[in-house]
Structure 1
């Protein structure tokens, strides 16, 4: 009898499985409102357009947001998979389930905050989401993985979510500051953007190191940063310095993660 056998399950395992499914449903419902269904306003039109591609110097181009489709599909697949009886008492599910559920609730709350609250509230929620995802990814790394499906649905989906939300948190903060900062700060916007991207580079290297070379966070970071570079080099507000720096940080995020990955393989 293995540790993941249903015979070892208890009531709290069932509660966790139900909570993950319920959180996933909440997230999808909020995403539909955020897409403009059920009378909601599309995210890019909320907050006076502050969250759109031209809302700040650190907003990625619109195609970047298609990554949400991959994240949502992955989270729905995870919810269905973790609900199977054979996953009920699995060690990784016990370590991850509640954190994934919390991330989905916060994901949905951000969309509702964007619809019905203000920019400072969205910033607070998205940083809470980033913190929960960082803890979830840490737990994913600490627990052993076996097989392709767990690697995709636990490490992969959580990593994509974390990488993208890291970019989204910075863009959300920039949108808020753009709307509230004094006009005289505008001249320093490009410098502040480059500094923010340097911080993202440090975070990306840290995730690659602590993630033991797992690729999903770096792929999401590189995706978002690449579209940020496109937005600043070919759209408004334009900034060559931010565009070039974003492209460089995308390379750093992927390169550092691959270096950690190959060094671990060489050492094993």
Structure 2
């Protein structure tokens, strides 16, 4: 198979994955098939469940990912090394997101957690590969680096919140001290990542959005304070990275 055919197949896979995850969200999110995602999550309450408003970020993620998918399919884009290095990972991410929705809405919570970990791994690989492929222009920054950064930042925190939900599903919801430790570790890991990943402001904004909604929704004061401290740590990491880039 020629490189041209491989490029076309990869581009089609990313477009297909983008469409599939939107369809899965439209069907699974409100519970047209299975139970609504929010209803399942609320059935296993934890101290780390973000407030309902947090999930509005999915609309932004889907729009940005769709724009990324359409652009990388252009004939002028398909052959670029950056798309060859990231495309299959992004296609896998879209498929895994759709699979997570399908599993979670059927209350297959443990399996869904395995899938979201795999989703995060795909996004991290794509982000790290983007780091080695600097943006050539504003279009790369807006329609490639930014979508991956925001998607990765949100899923990073969602994976931690999902682990808490899975624990509750198994009958062992994390205690307040465990939840505090998880939030602080998440903030530290995200700050470390912010020093290395591309589109740092998009990544940090998504992480802070998720942590902020945990602070809003949690009934535990210690967890709320920890979430706000974690937001501060991530902001510092992003500012330091941005300062290095401008310096």
Partner of 2:9: 15
Whether contact under 8 Å (1:190, 1:241) holds in the other structure is yes
Q: 1:85 to 1:104 in 2, by over 3 A?
A: same
Partner of 2:143: 153
Partner of 1:3: none
Q: Once the 2 structures are TM-superposed, how far is the Cα of residue 202 of structure 1 from its aligned partner?
A: 2.0
| Structure (1 or 2) with the larger CA radius of gyration | 1
Partner of 2:163: 173
Whether contact under 8 Å (2:154, 2:210) holds in the other structure is yes
In the alignment, the residues of structure 1 paired with residue 116 and residue 178 of structure 2 have an alpha-carbon distance, to the nearest angstrom, of 20
Partner of 2:246: 265
In the alignment, the residues of structure 1 paired with residue 230 and residue 188 of structure 2 have an alpha-carbon distance, to the nearest angstrom, of 9
In the alignment, the residues of structure 1 paired with residue 58 and residue 155 of structure 2 have an alpha-carbon distance, to the nearest angstrom, of 10
Q: Once the 2 structures are TM-superposed, how far is the Cα of residue 15 of structure 1 from its aligned partner?
A: 0.7
In the alignment, the residues of structure 2 paired with residue 38 and residue 195 of structure 1 have an alpha-carbon distance, to the nearest angstrom, of 36
Q: Number of aligned pairs?
A: 246
Instruction: Determine if the alignment matches structure 1 residue 60 to structure 2 residue 46.
Output: no
In the alignment, the residues of structure 2 paired with residue 13 and residue 212 of structure 1 have an alpha-carbon distance, to the nearest angstrom, of 24
Deviations 1:73-128 (A, max 9, x none): 00111111111111111121111111111110011010011123521111101111
Q: Structure 1 regions of 5+ residues with no counterpart?
A: 1-7, 233-237
Structure 1-normalised TM-score? 0.87
Q: Structure 2 regions of 5+ residues with no counterpart?
A: none
In the alignment, the residues of structure 1 paired with residue 53 and residue 160 of structure 2 have an alpha-carbon distance, to the nearest angstrom, of 18
Following TM superposition, where does structure 1 have runs of at least 4 consecutive aligned residues deviating by more than 4 angstroms?
A: none
Partner of 1:244: 225
In the alignment, the residues of structure 2 paired with residue 190 and residue 48 of structure 1 have an alpha-carbon distance, to the nearest angstrom, of 18
Over the residues paired in the alignment, what is the CA RMSD in angstroms?
1.8
